Structure 1
Amino acid sequence: MNFKNLNLIDPILQAVTEVGYTQATKIQYRTIPYILEGKDLIGCAQTGTGKTAAFAIPILQQLSQRAYSTPNIKTLVLTPTRELAIQIEENFKMYGKHLPLTQLVIFGGVSQDKQVLALKRKVDILIATPGRLLDLMHQGHIDLSKLEILVLDEADRMLDLGFVNDVKKILSKIPKKRQTLFFSATMPENIRKFANSILYQPVEINVTPVSSTAQTIKQSVYFVEKNEKTKLLIDLLNNPSIPRSLVFTRTKHGANRLARQLEQKGIHSAAIHGNKSQNARQKALDDFKTSKIRVLIATDIAARGIDIEELPHVVNYDLPNVPETYVHRIGRTGRAGIEGTAISFCNDEEKVNLRNIQKLIGFNMPVNSNAK
């Protein structure tokens, strides 16, 4: 379903279009209408199926359409890890870039000083890990008494990591009258029981995770030391039979560094990620589509929605730690019945990721010998 058919306001549609989205994923088009209606919801979908947008987009729309007289935190998103919290904040920023709403991410493991300073300013949407949130609440830096929307994201992981008592403490400090959204990759009995205890007449949406790859994609893997990956990539890209390659890295810094290294070897490339401006991302994409550059290096958050006709080659420079993400990445090639190639690099630390990916897709990738 096209995002234009979901009754979204123009500022959000504009932002979604600028990111490169056109078609909503199943979890998005099935949940967004219910969330816009203010209903409590249980969404069961794997990471990598677009569920952050499924709750971020309708939350932004709801908050933008309400009149507020005081600057209170209106939405709280609880998530188990720092990495997920950062990713969710980036999503809210992307979809809400044309709205007068603010978001803030807080997590442990770093000094709280900057977070406390940021909390003194207007914050509409707070994304937090439970431990640091409770610390700052106890110190009097955070007031959730006017909260309207609560999201528990990756709830199964949160409970597996032992956050259930922290979550219950947080629940005791927020209004009972609220909209609660509960997203989880799995729904075992203890998760379902917990969800039913905190939601009111929830709508339940279950989406089968992506688990298969197109038959038109030739997949393989290289086992390579971490510090040898760049050399291997350069060797592969020097093959004249590979006109263009989309390369995935785990981090923004890694994408920038790799683009510089390739340019130094005369391989025209550009990086796209969340820190790049929309104009810079669009120019890089246009240059790639018109073959002004041979290599586009992307992080997952920036690559979502990229649609390049007849893209021949995808390289997983870093293997994703979420198996479904692998399926989404390599799905950029082998489209519309045209053959494509997907090559993955795997160092010792990533072997567990490779095993999880191969378990998901149901076969073991052929192993290549390292290029010379």
Structure 2
Amino acid sequence: MVLLILAKRSNTIVRLWKPPSLWILPCYSRSYSKKLVSYGKRLNEIKLPPKADRSQNILDSTATTQARATKVAKVAQFSDLPVDPQLTSAIENYLLSDLQYAKPSPIQIQMAKETPILLRDKSKHTNAVVLASETGSGKTLAYLIPLIQFLKFTTNSDSDLNISSRKASYRAIILTPVPSLVGQLHDVISGLNIPSLTVAGMSNFVRTNKIKQISRDILCTNPQKFNALMENNPEAFKSVQIVVCDEADTVSFKDAYKTSIQTIRNLSEHLKYMFFCSATIPTSMERHIQQAYPKANRIVSPDLHKLPSRVNFSIIKCSQEFYKNSKIRALIHTIASIKFSNSEHDQVKRILIFANHGSTVSKIVDELKAKGFDTFAVDGSSTTHEEIEHVLESFKNPIGTDVNDAVKIMVSTDILARGIDLKRIKHVILYDVPFSSMELLHRVGRTGRMSIRGNAYLIVDRSDENKPAVKRIRKAAIHHRALI
């Protein structure tokens, strides 16, 4: 095969060796037509490899491509991650015991690949890492991978730490804004059953004088309890090497975690790593990190600030004649549709409803109970943390033995929108339009977690339909665009 390319200024001949029968002849005048004969003769003189050899070359090329694809596809199990096999085995066993699946999420794979690089860094300065990914993507296990890996292979003697078993001391601290998350984190770490790894969980409704002051590898707490512990025993935090700020984008947590982190930095000479974990990165958080840690490593999901692809998002318009512009009517109809659907056969259907105000929560609960629905309520302004824990346990427990068409409903303000992993929730209903895109992402993120599909519904009346926020949400849902 001969390919002629006409050009005015080119007088060079370029030969492509793959395939070897292809010649590119730049021609810009008729004088080159005579040379085609000689090129044709030379072309016939070229000895091509036998067909068998050519097939072998193609097979080799295909094999290489398949090998590369397999290398990427192989990271479908925790055992393929470049971390300690004992840790990956513990994670798989933990997930299989609870969720019946054990596949690493993209953010966990990315964090695991960065872990050896982080641990090889022997510099004395503090390494800051921003770990940002959409809700329900497995950020907790993502930051626990390097944390446990570091604690497991860095002994006290290796770090020149003088930790006495008789005095309280900690090597890693996980700060979280919501006290309910403290117990959840404690259960996750304890559930991994890592030998020789000790963990303590302390929230602000646990009295400090009732805490047994002993050494722990990991302390899970919130800023309020951390401040109380600091006043009692500041020496316990001089050995801290890792600090994790979970839910770092929380507005109520912003000033608190700044103060707590600065206190730890002033006390501990061994602080090695700082992790900022979040489902969103608001401007205030980004500004703080830029000022305090300008060289921070960023591990950010490409789907950050987008509605989760695992969630089917729908907007229910109350302006339809059937609903008569009544949100309550639209809500009850939506719940009834979920109740009698076949989406969760032989399972209790759990629905989480979000409202902006506590008064709206009370109104919804009264209406649903009047219709005979099994309804629970959590309102941060009138519910203590102990009561929240009790309500959550009741909400998670099954309903007797007959689960056909059984529905459990939880109505809450934004207090349950962050960090709380309410397993088996496949339906989230937003009764009110959230005040911000950040709140919307967190509320919708209570479903569709860890590769399990879910459904989210936003109820809007006539006054909401033309709001810029609703139009932006609709476009983001249709085109999978970022909301922030």
Normalising by the smaller structure, the TM-score range is: 0.5 to 0.7
Match of 1:180, SS state, is strand
Match of 2:104 in 1: 24
Match of 2:78 in 1: 4
> 1:120 offset after TM fit, Å?
1.9
Match of 1:124, SS state, is strand
Match of 1:24, SS state, is coil
Match of 1:56 in 2: 144
Partners of 1:131 and 1:341 lie apart in 2 by 33
Q: 1:32 to 1:96 in 2, by over 3 A?
A: farther
Match of 1:9, SS state, is helix
Partners of 2:134 and 2:151 lie apart in 1 by 25
**Deviations along 1:76-125, whole A, 9 cap, x unmatched?**
1234xx42x53254134224324263222344xx6xx7134225245432
Matches within 5 A, 1:54-133: 54-60=142-148, 62-63=150-151, 70=165, 72-79=169-176, 82-83=177-178, 86-99=180-193, 101-107=198-204, 114-130=207-223, 132-133=225-226
Match of 2:445 in 1: 328
Between structure 1 and structure 2, the one with the greater Rg is 2
> 1:205 offset after TM fit, Å?
1.4
Is it true that 1:315 corresponds to 2:394 in the alignment?
no
The answer on whether the counterparts of 1:249 and 1:297 sit within 8 Å (CA) in structure 2 is yes
Structure 2 runs not aligned, ≥5 long:
1-74, 120-126, 157-163, 320-325, 343-348, 356-360, 378-387, 479-484
Partners of 2:249 and 2:374 lie apart in 1 by 43
Give the TM-score normalised by the residue count of structure 1: 0.62
Q: 1:131 to 1:355 in 2, by over 3 A?
A: farther
The answer on whether the counterparts of 1:31 and 1:43 sit within 8 Å (CA) in structure 2 is no
Partners of 1:167 and 1:34 lie apart in 2 by 23
Partners of 1:241 and 1:169 lie apart in 2 by 51
> 1:151 offset after TM fit, Å?
1.8
Match of 1:207 in 2: 301
The answer on whether the counterparts of 1:211 and 1:360 sit within 8 Å (CA) in structure 2 is no
Q: 1:29 to 1:45 in 2, by over 3 A?
A: same
Match of 2:351 in 1: 247
Partners of 1:64 and 1:262 lie apart in 2 by 50
Q: 1:325 to 1:358 in 2, by over 3 A?
A: farther
> Which one has more relative contact order, counting CA pairs under 8 Å at least 6 apart?
1
Match of 1:191, SS state, is helix
Matches within 5 A, 1:1-372: 2=76, 4-5=78-79, 6=81, 7=85, 8-20=87-99, 22-35=102-115, 38-39=118-119, 40-45=127-132, 48=135, 49-60=137-148, 62-63=150-151, 70=165, 72-79=169-176, 82-83=177-178, 86-99=180-193, 101-107=198-204, 114-130=207-223, 132-140=225-233, 143-155=236-248, 161=255, 164=258, 167-183=261-277, 185-186=281-282, 188-196=286-294, 203-208=297-302, 209-212=304-307, 217-220=313-316, 234=332, 236-238=334-336, 242-243=340-341, 245-249=349-353, 291=404, 293-295=406-408, 306=424, 314-316=428-430, 322-329=439-446, 331=448, 342-344=457-459, 359=472, 362=475
**Deviations along 1:253-292, whole A, 9 cap, x unmatched?**
xx9xx99997996658999x987999x96967x986xx46
- Give me the CA root mean square deviation: 5.4
Partners of 1:128 and 1:25 lie apart in 2 by 26
Partners of 1:294 and 1:250 lie apart in 2 by 17
Partners of 1:180 and 1:302 lie apart in 2 by 22
Q: 1:318 to 1:75 in 2, by over 3 A?
A: farther
Q: Which segment is superposed worse, 62-71 or 142-151? A: 62-71
- Amino acid corresponding to residue 255 of structure 2 in structure 1: L
**Deviations along 1:8-45, whole A, 9 cap, x unmatched?**
43333222233426443333221134346654452242
Q: Which segment is superposed worse, 44-53 or 63-72? A: 63-72
Structure 1 runs not aligned, ≥5 long:
366-372
- Of all paired residues, the percent bearing the same amino acid is 16
Q: 1:151 to 1:296 in 2, by over 3 A?
A: same
Q: 1:92 to 1:101 in 2, by over 3 A?
A: same
- Amino acid corresponding to residue 15 of structure 1 in structure 2: Y
Partners of 2:220 and 2:390 lie apart in 1 by 19
> 1:75 offset after TM fit, Å?
0.8
Q: 1:302 to 1:47 in 2, by over 3 A?
A: same
> 1:143 offset after TM fit, Å?
1.0
